Chain A
Amino acid sequence: MIAIAKLTIGEAARRKILWVLVILAVLAVTLVAWGVGRLVEAGRESGADELEIRLAVSQVLIFIAFQFGFVQAMTAAFLGSPAIASDLESGVALAVLARPIRRSSYLLGRWLGLAIVLSAYGAGSSLFAILVVGGVSGYTPPSIVTPVAFLVAEGLVVLTLTMLLSTRLPPIGGGAIAVVAFGLAWMAGTIERVGIAISARNPDVDLGFVGDIGRILLPTDGLWRGVIYGLEPPIVIAAARDQPLAEANPFFALSPPPVAFLAWVVVWVVIVLSLAALSLRRREP
């Protein structure tokens, strides 16, 4: 498994696309730093107080994280989808799987290597963005680790789904389905938020089940709520506790994801990886 993980990391490091994404992330953060700098300057000139400026900067950070989360999901999908499928299609897997290696070790090695690459990319780029914005605006989230960890976990969930698809589907098909599933999971969470707004006028409307089903099937949106929560200033969260409609905002979270949900994420990853290993075991290259 370790040999395959090392091979996978080497493969990713030699791919131009990853370095293009790193350069784009640096450019995006540079642009955002300039924009946030202008925003803070304009806010202070117009007499906004520090709380308002923090709120504005935290919202900008959340939008940046949203973009990074999407890029990371795409990266996970397009790194993960060829990981098994291309090896099987091209014949590269034949020479490797004929060696004394379990199919599950091969799969876990591929997953582990890509998870390390993806985590390094996701953590590096988001940490860089938070620190640069903090340097420009003076606002950094109370815990830098929390939003970064949730963002990385979101990418790992997409990667895991993609690996399962990669055992059966061609690379483009698996990648496309994973991205669509990621989008649908976010939509399910957004519908749940819209349901909160509607239920304020009509208590009979409860769309919470849509979000629950989405989080069970693909827990990316639940993790995204963790990113949002981690980026918000505590004072804004405290002020919103009395606002029943605050949770209706898809870019606001009053509380972190519950522990039970985080446990489900771990179980979900184990289940999906097990299914992927089973699927690969039954596959004849």
Chain B
Amino acid sequence: MRATRWRTRLIASSAPVIDVAGLRKRYGRIEALADLTMTVRPGEVFGFLGPNGAGKTTTVKLLLGLARPSGGSGRVLGAPLGDREARRRIGYLPELFRYQPWLRAREVLALHADLIGMPGATRARAFDDVLGLVGLADRAATPVSGFSKGMQQRLGLGVALLGDPALVILDEPTSALDPIGRMDVRAILRTARDRGAAVFLNSHLLSEVERVCDRVAVVDRGKVVAAGALAEVLGGRETRIRATGVPAGALDGPIAAFGRATFDGSDLIVPDLDDERVPDLVAALVGLGARVHEVSSGRESLEQRFVELVGRGGPGPDPATAATERGAEPG
């Protein structure tokens, strides 16, 4: 009840749930985070993206007080990083999710209920709720040692959602899940958001982020390289026309009326073209003697934008090696 009141106040005040500025983290001579600045608002699903070794997991550990920053400042739920009372209102699913194997699923929840000081009267129902939410209702009495990795990750998600937290931090929450499980997680994230919780989703599964996140930040080499609403980060729409026989100078001639068009190989790309004008453009091209083979219109995918931002298209170095060389924990 207290947490709900608090969360309501937070949403009403629109105070950031996470607000960090210039956050840095060094491990000896290795710089895992260089200068991280970002804000997460109440009630939003925030995607935190980046290649392996970008510093994502390091960021999560700093937000939770599991590691201390080497510089910069930050507040989570209005309190300094690592504040114990704030942690009472944070649910966390680690990337390396491991729970006491000798405990049954319900006992794991009971342990975490003890740790967050959940009132005894509300526990039984809360346990049933979260186990049902993550699809483990019929596994409450099963020891964790008998769980598959996917089931352990589901349990971890349940642990993170226990106690109706104001902020849920999920570090690669679908890494062990099958496609059905991933769909379930997306539904769970939306449910959490609908209840008013902010969700900080650390992931490199871009399709997942694209489907569920309200805002994203892309981090690379410990710095945010792009942040904002998904549409802002992805940029405007573009119309792509695969055409041959387009006469030289056409782009500066009649086609210029449709916008600043460019060629990408045999594809003619026209940014921010209204859908209503696409047939006119095709007609203009045909009128110029060109042959049109294919027309597609849409936004750049998050994957394309991600590759542009982190600047590493195609096969790169081994992620673990890259992380070590660049000095960050695999993130």
Contact = CB atoms under 8 A, between A and B. Distances in A.
Given A3-B111, A3-B114, A98-B64, A92 B100 contact: yes
Nearest to B112: A99
Interface stretch (B83-91, B120-128, B206-214, B292-300): B83-91
A59 B87 CA distance: 57
Interface in A1-47: 3, 6-7, 10-11, 14-15
A3 B100 CA distance: 14
B28 to A, nearest CB: 12
B276 to A, nearest CB: 52
Contacts of B100: 7, 11, 92
Q: How large is the interface on B (under 10, 10 to 19, 20 to 34, 35 or more residues)?
A: 20 to 34
Interface residues of A, number: 21
Nearest to A94: B94
Interface string A77-100: 000000000000011101111111
Interface in B101-125: 102-103, 111-112, 114-117
Contacts of A10: 102-103
Interface in B275-297: none
Contact of A284 (B61, B87, B116): B61
Nearest to B83: A100
Contacts of B156: 95
B67 A95 contact: no
B97 interface: yes
B111 A7 contact: yes
A94 B66 CA distance: 8
Quick one: which of B88, B99, B102, B115 has the most chain A CB within 10 A? Answer: B115
A91 B90 CA distance: 18
A144 interface: no
18 contacts: A3-B111, A7-B100, A7-B111, A90-B96, A92-B98, A94-B96, A95-B92, A95-B156, A95-B159, A98-B64, A98-B65, A99-B87, A99-B115, A99-B116, A102-B84, A284-B66, A284-B67, A285-B61
Interface of B: 61, 64-68, 84-85, 87-88, 90, 92-94, 96-100, 102-103, 111-112, 114-117, 156, 159
